[in-house]
Structure 1
Amino acid sequence: MRIRIEGRELPQSPELRLNNVHVGMQRRAEVVERVPVTENQAVWELEVAGREVDGLLDVGGPWVHGPPGARFLYLSWGAVHGADFVMFRRAKLLFGDVPTELLRAAFDDEGVLVGRLTLTDGAGDPRCARVRPPVISWTLE
């Protein structure tokens, strides 16, 4: 199953810029495809495995976290110092928040599942915690 996450409006505080803060997609324990807050947008494209379990669709693979029935993707924020990434917060994008018909169509290879969200919260900080609609919108393209 193909997924694209499109983030816009990265937080622009001087403190985040000075600390070289990036956001990336977490693959297992590693945060990859990191984008600095100096950018206007961030896009991640990934492949997620899917399978039928007792008539229900379950997702998995190195991008997917959480137990069956509560699977999610992590967007992780951290400061980059040389080769080190020091994480300080994460956002959860839960598959349970994706409309069932969209998830099923993506599983059936009818298109790419696309999640769009703002990466800045109401206080101007990096978006974290569980990200639910309408903050994130899901479409099939």
Structure 2
Amino acid sequence: MAENLIVEILDAQGNPCADGEIGEVVVSNLHNFATPLLRYALGDHAEVGGPCPCGRHLPTLRRLLGRSRNMLRYPDGSRRWPCGFDPFRQIAPAIRQFQMIQSHLEQLELRLVASQPLTVPQQAALVELIQRALPPPSA
């Protein structure tokens, strides 16, 4: 990361996350002399990385997870990240893009762009993958 920024990964209480923990990305610009030092909460979440093998002591990120608004909402009030692209590609390599749309708390729509039609077993495997990832509907 850049030397003219302070990049922090903070938990829900505003405390710094340790290596391997996930939190919100907060950035402060150290190069702007015209305004006070501001901490910008970007709405992104990331996982804190370990020390850089190059020997520099700047913070590292292991992975970016995405925006808070892109998390799936669950009936119990919890929020989780949707599964990434890899599980879909493992089931059906023809998938090029996907979009998940949660229009209601217990409804998830999956839109796919594929280079060829998916087979019936591939479609069934995708449905099973999503059902395993989501909790059962509330009674």
TM-score, normalised relative to structure 2: 0.27
Higher share in helix: 2
Higher relative contact order (CA 8 A, sep 6+): 1
The higher radius of gyration belongs to: 2
Higher share in strand: 1
